[in-house]
Chain A
Amino acid sequence: MANPLLEVRQLNVAYGDVRALWDVSLEVEEGSIVALVGANGAGKTTLLKSIAGLLRPLGGQILFEGEDLGRLNTKHRVDKGIVMVPEGRRLFQTLTVLENLRLGAYLPKARAGYDDSLDRVFTLFPRLQERKNSKAGLLSGGEQQMLAIGRAVMAGPRLVMIDEASLGLSPILTRHIFELIVALNGQGATVLLVEQNIHMALKICSKAYVMKTGHIVLSGTGEELLADVDVRKAYVGERGSRL
């Protein structure tokens, strides 16, 4: 069997003396959507940051296309196609939409594909084309999330890691963003999704991992986990709404 696109093996991460991840392992197959769910403080963002090269693990391995990323810095990981959409979007507020997108395609490889990537982003998010000269800080919440994802698309990603795409968005906008994530995946990008809106994340993913206090406590297909009584009770809630 071919290697998964991303494989995390026995990853351990700490902030100073505080342990954040304990022997975390997961696999993301090429072309899939994988969801990572769990309560606040479970270690989801820590895991994404470690994969992005923003945190140095204590031990364990992160393999991309079968190759150990070791101590490779963020720049080289982005160059390999590992791109993160950070929690809270983290747009450059005083820069225009177009400038934000340009920074997403900063590295030489991404810059070479700039025109194609820009077309792709504007096809996916026509709203961004209309507002391309606006300052990012003046966009609505939904537009900002589109820009955050669009900025990641500009890097020509193989793997897009999206941290809390639905944060602060209305249910309608959340559904729209999820549709766009599915569309992005349909264009060939593999997606690793961290979500508090567990119900919706489980519906669109092919596989999901549940995290709790730094451990992976459960994994399975989206349907399996949706059907799992424990997960429903612990994370999805009675009416299947958000936490």
Chain B
Amino acid sequence: MSSLIQVVINGILLGSMYGIAAVGLSLIFGTMRIIFIAQGTMIVLFAYLVYWASIKAGVDPYLSLLWVVPFAFILGLGLFYVLFRKAAALEDRNVSLLLAVGLMYLIDNLILKLWSATPRGLDIPYSDAMIVVSGIRVSWLRLALLGLGLGSALVVYLFLKRTRVGTAVRAASEDMEATTIQGINSVWVCAISFAIGIAMAGVAGVGMATVYSFDYQFGFVFAIKALVALALGGIGNVFGALAGGLILGIIENLAAYYVGIEWIEVASYGIFMLVLIFLPQGLFGRRGLVKKV
């Protein structure tokens, strides 16, 4: 029994990373109507920056949150205005999607050039610190990940629900033209929600730098994990996206423990497909968002 609890807890902690990435994807999907496939690569890029700051300047990775998140936000604004502003106004969403694919491979290869193909990972002095409660072991670092996930999802939720711009983001994700008709600069609103999505990649980058070993090809895999988490949780719901990540983490850990580590991907993608077949709106998604024809 205690081993089951241990497996589930490990899954939740691992899944927080997927959850953070999925919240970012969800925000970007809301206004841009594309799966931002470069999200994983952005996370890896920020993980490298955090890694670099730690190696070169001795900055604690968690302290890096203070600069990497604002940096990611500003980078997000820049990317939106340079790359996506025109494409976002087109009816055909494929142009935005193709730009995201291009961006992903561009950054992947930029990372390869800058940091080589050698996988990197940080050696963190407090990485062995554990809490042990009646035989269940929880690493502080992974617990911090869960905290990051919950904290950032809460911030995004409050932004969407309580602020004027957040309300406009929700409006724009429903009806862009009607938002413009209210006198709202909907391009700016899209830019803000995109930039917050990238800022979430900054948060996830800190998490990745502390618990993973990563290389330049890791981004795409991670984007797919985030996509699975988003589909499990359901689009259009911040905590749903986070929960989707946690559930994916649990599925992966259960599969690894009870069936074998080589079954992780089979189990998670199998369940992903089953959810899409039977609950296309996701486990916590808004009904009606996926319209039946």
> Which chain A residues have a beta carbon within 8 Å of chain B's beta carbons?
52, 54, 74-75, 77-79, 83-84, 86, 90-95, 99, 102-104, 106-107, 110, 151, 155
Contacts and interface: CB of A to CB of B under 8 A. Distances in A.
Interface stretch (B45-53, B174-182, B274-282): B174-182
B184 interface: yes
A70 to B, nearest CB: 17
Contacts of A102: 164, 167
13 contacts: A54-B177, A78-B183, A83-B183, A91-B178, A92-B170, A94-B170, A99-B167, A99-B170, A99-B171, A102-B167, A103-B182, A106-B168, A106-B183
Contacts of A78: 181-183
A77 B183 CA distance: 8
Contacts of A151: 182
A106 B184 contact: yes
B181 A95 contact: no
B175 A90 contact: yes
A2 B286 CA distance: 53
A210 B168 CA distance: 36
A151 B174 CA distance: 16
Tell me the dominant secondary structure on chain B's binding face: helix
Nearest to A136: B174
Contacts of A74: 180-181, 183
B185 interface: yes
B171 A92 contact: yes
B183 A79 contact: yes
B66 to A, nearest CB: 31
A219 B182 CA distance: 30
A203 B77 CA distance: 51
Contacts of B183: 74-75, 77-79, 83, 106-107, 110, 155
Contacts of A52: 181
A52 B171 CA distance: 19
Contact of A92 (B164, B174, B185, B286): B174
B182 A155 contact: yes
The 6 closest A-B pairs by CB, nearest first: A78-B183, A90-B178, A92-B171, A75-B183, A107-B183, A106-B184
A106 B181 contact: no
B174 A106 contact: no
